[in-house]
Structure 1
Amino acid sequence: MHNLYERLKQQKEAKSAASRPDSGPSGVSVVDAASVSDARREPRPGRRPAVRLSPPWEQVAGEVWRAVYRSAAPAAAVVRRCASIGGLLVGPETDPEGLCFLDSETTGLSGGAGTTAFLLASARLQAEELETTLLFLSDFSGEPVFLQLVREQLLRAQTLVTYNGRAFDVAILRNRFLLNRIEPVERQHIDLLHPARRLFGTVLERCSLSVVEREILGITRQADIDGAAVPDAWLRFIRTGDSARIQPVFSHVLQDSASLLQLLARIELLAADEDGNGNVDPLQRARLLIESPYRVAGSLSLRQRGLSSLEALACVPDHPQSATAARYYCALQRRRGNWGAAQRVWLLHFERRRSLWAAVELAKYHEHRRRDLAAAADIVERAAGWDHARAVQAELVRRRQRIERKLLRSLVKTRAAGKTGPYDGV
């Protein structure tokens, strides 16, 4: 037993000596430099790697970084001109220098309390340049400081310009402000998604910013990161500290903010009819100009231009949107009491397209406005003979019967009075 114990003890000592690193002449352990480098590159569990970002990035405080980029902005001249004369989205009440083109990147798209904004781009016009400030959160612990700096950027702005920012970017920031007990900032807001959908929604496969950039602005991104991959890129950056993983996200958000300026200028040019881009819904363009829903004090010249465009579209019966444009145009003119303009369009569609809706509107116009029952009866009689009128045959029959009853009562009254009425020959 004693010999067995000694042998086991010797084997244990030999094993420990074999696993111990070699020592140099002075007794200091010699360790492979490559293994040290690997150990530093791959952090131990629970140990956070150091964050290093190259200029123009500067560390503002703790986990918050800031960078400022400047680029030429030819579209700035268009925005300034439209702001001075009054455009669809900007007007004399808008200070071009107070526009803040805002975009953010977050940890997800759910929009709930667990979604955090970690990157914000705020771009402003400076003369003929676009100055973009990026604020970056390199770890969750720095969020309160990050939000304070974001708030300072928002306070400098007069009007925010975003793409789906009303439902997402601004809503996320507001949630994070409230969760961190920071007072939110309220500013005027131009969300370009809504006019873009109305102008391009029927001619584009979808109205995401990347599609609008490619099809409307002619911008093709090179080696761009997919928006869905952005949250994962940031989380990997937090775990590894590798700045190469996050650089594509910086380029992505910079392009987003620059595209907002170009898209704003393009929409204003389309509203002013100074852009010949064919990828526009002409009906929605006219309706946008007439309604001017994005400015409190819309320009009367814009509304008149929209009404003229709508009338021109309504008077081309062969256009696929002509019937819809005619209905909308006639409804507007009827509300304004301009019955003559509405009657001309109704008559055009009644005679050239045999439109049943135009026949009904014309019959009502003659029956109720002009009190010309004979003309109303003639229109209903002609429409009832069309082959495609079977779907509304019952309505036409009821209308004709009502007009005939009115004609009969009028005839009885005139004969009882001993007069010759206008409908005696009917």
Structure 2
Amino acid sequence: MSSLSDRLKSLGVKVGAQDLPAPQPRRGPGIEAVVPGRVHQTSNGETYIIDSNYPPDYRYGNLGLSFSASLATLAEWVVKGNRELHERLCQCSPQAFAFLDIETTGLQGGTGTYAFLVGVGRLEEGGFHLAQFFLRDPIEEQAQLLALEEFLGPCQALVTYNGKAFDVPLLNTRYLIQGWKTPLPGLMHVDLLPVARKLWRERLPSRTLGNIETFILGARRTQEDVPGWMIPQMYFDYLRTGDAHFLEGIFYHNAMDVLAMAALLNHVTFALEDPTRAALEKGEDLIGMAKMYEDMGRMDEAVALYQQSLEHELPGELYWNTVERLSFIKKRMGDYPGAIALWQQAAGQKQIYACVELAKYYEHQMRDYTESARWTQAALDIIHAPGYPRYARQEWNADLLHRLDRLKKKM
């Protein structure tokens, strides 16, 4: 029976290192001189590993790398109702998490893309241990993957940033191409990118890890860092010339990504465990957190956070969008006095939906057709005011006229 590699070759998939340039005689310092590490022997050859250890009190920006807060709330949001997975994730100790980030020969993925540098960090008794598995030569990939699997052995869960879409599928492909079973599906997975998008969508126009570091973690990278888009070509240049002097920035970039994920998990778990104690200073952050609680169906906590956010200075559009969102939650919860107060506030600012909701309330809940007609007419006055967008007027006009006609017949 043909092997997986043979079947892939028959389909035109390049297996192994033949699609990468072979290393040339060195024209400059080798990797051992630029980034000191160790040669690790496996059953499939050697791989090069750089170990870095950070003390327990190390801080990345404003935050430490270990978390002491409960994972329960974050896990509840991540697992989307899977009770068994939630329980397993909550039982994980901080030492059971592996923080993973890869640097690759291409930004699109695919069978021809190699993870030439895999950075993995985990908490140990002496602090935070970061191991970076580097392909000095593409022919060392089997040894690299074996060493990575060995390092992940004690871990029960992965933490990544966009890892579900990129890092993990790419590594799974690399194991598959070797004809091996990948170890990654056996690990629970916390991808922090969806968390960041939910929490900071209102505050940050871009939720790249770099922006999260700067504006949330309070971290600043040094000039050693290199832009991610440059990294594939820098590795190809290394393979072509054997000169590793410009790779130091890639190792720094990868290390900072891993440390940032550890600090971010610490921040998120602490804030979600007790938003009040977290003393969030931005109303936008409270809104993001409220949306997470709303996703989980924890409406009392969501309402409290939305109300707290309205006490902060918010951009006008965001403020009124939050008032609208909060009013409908209160309506669904049966808190009509709370919803009415918000609708009246919004109607005073000519928010059309608020007038319509008040008209509905007085017609269907109070049977006060005169008051309902008053709010319906108020809505019509808004949409027929000079400068009101024509498309919006067309959207509302027919329904409002129909409602007003129906109310007049009931009066």
Q: TM-score range by the shorter chain?
A: 0.7 to 0.9
Shift of 1:357: 0.5
Aligned-partner residue type, residue 375 of structure 2: I
Correspondence 1:344 to 2:341: yes
1:382 is aligned, of 367, 374, 378, to 378
List per-residue Cα deviations over 1:288-309 (Å, max 9, x = no partner).
Answer: 23324xxxxx9x5xx5333212
- Spell out, residue by residue over 1:325-361, the C-alpha distance to the aligned partner (whole angstroms, 9 max, x if none): 12222332333333333233223322x3232101111
Letter in 2 for 1:88: L
Change (3 A) 1:94 1:348: farther
> 1:70 — aligned with what?
53
Q: Distance in 1 between matches of 2:65 and 2:30?
A: 40
CA distance in 1, matches of 2:129, 2:340: 54
**Aligned residue for 1:220?**
220
* Cα distance in 2, alignment partners of residues 120 and 387 from structure 1: 58
Conserved? CA contact 1:234–1:246, under 8 Å? yes
Coordinate RMSD, CA, aligned? 3.0
| Structure 1 residues 285-300: aligned runs within 5 Å | 285-292=289-296
**Contact 1:63 1:137 (8 Å CA) reproduced:** no
Q: CA deviation at 1:164?
A: 1.2
CA distance in 2, matches of 1:156, 1:258: 19
State the shift of 1:104 in Å: 0.7
Which residue among 406, 409, 413 is the counterpart of 2:410?
406
Counterpart position of 2:358: 362
Counterpart contact for 1:89–1:268, Cα < 8 Å: no
User: Which of 29, 32, 39 is the matching residue for 1:59?
Assistant: 39
- Taking structure 1 as the reference length, the TM-score comes to 0.73
Q: Distance in 2 between matches of 1:318 and 1:110?
A: 37
| Contact 2:201-2:288 at 8 Å conserved across structures | no
- TM-score of the pair, normalised by structure 2: 0.76
Q: Secondary structure at the match of 1:244?
A: coil
Q: Which runs of 4 or more aligned residues in structure 1 lie more than 6 Å from their structure 2 counterparts after TM superposition?
A: 315-318
> Are 1:257 and 2:258 counterparts?
yes
Residues 322 and 201 from structure 1, CA distance in 2 versus in 1: closer, same or farther, beyond 3 angstroms? closer
What do the CA deviations read for 1:247-294 (whole angstroms, capped 9, x no partner)? 2221221111111111222334444242445494543232123324xx
Q: Which residue, 377, 398, 404 being the options, matches 1:394?
A: 398
Shift of 1:70: 0.7
Return the alpha-carbon distance in structure 1 between the equivalents of residues 188 and 135 of structure 2. Answer: 26
Partner of 1:335: 332
Distance 1:312 1:217 in 2: 22
Letter in 1 for 2:201: G
Residues 1:183 and 1:326: Cα distance change in structure 2 (over 3 Å) = same
2:69 corresponds to 1:81? yes
Post-superposition Cα deviations, 1:210-243, rounded to whole Å, max 9, x if no partner, equal 2222232222222212212222222222233333
* Distance in 2 (alpha carbons) for counterparts of 1:277 and 1:335: 29
Amino acid at match of 1:284: G
Determine the C-alpha separation between the residues in 2 that align with 1:209 and 1:246.
21
Q: Residues 22-101 of structure 1 correspond to what in structure 2 (within 5 A)? A: 53-54=32-33, 57-61=37-41, 62-72=45-55, 73-74=58-59, 75-76=63-64, 79-83=67-71, 86-88=72-74, 92-101=90-99
SS of aligned partner of 1:353: coil
Counterpart AA for 1:226:
P
1:183 match: 181
Residues 298-309 of structure 1 aligned to structure 2 (within 5 Å): 304-309=300-305
Q: Which has the larger radius of gyration?
A: 1
Instruction: Tell me which amino acid in the other structure corresponds to 1:381.
Output: Q
Say if 1:94 and 1:289 are closer, same or farther in 2 by CA, change over 3 A: farther
Which of 1 and 2 has higher RCO (CA within 8 Å, sep 6+)?
Answer: 2
Query: Which ranges in structure 1 are unaligned for 5 or more consecutive residues?
Result: 1-44, 293-297, 408-426
Residue 100 of structure 1 and its aligned partner are, at CA, apart by: 1.0
Shift of 1:372: 2.7
Amino acid of the structure 2 residue aligned with 1:57: G
Relative to structure 1, the CA distance from residue 385 to residue 247 in structure 2 (aligned partners, 3 Å threshold; closer, same or farther) is closer
Give the unaligned 5+ runs of structure 2: 1-21, 77-88
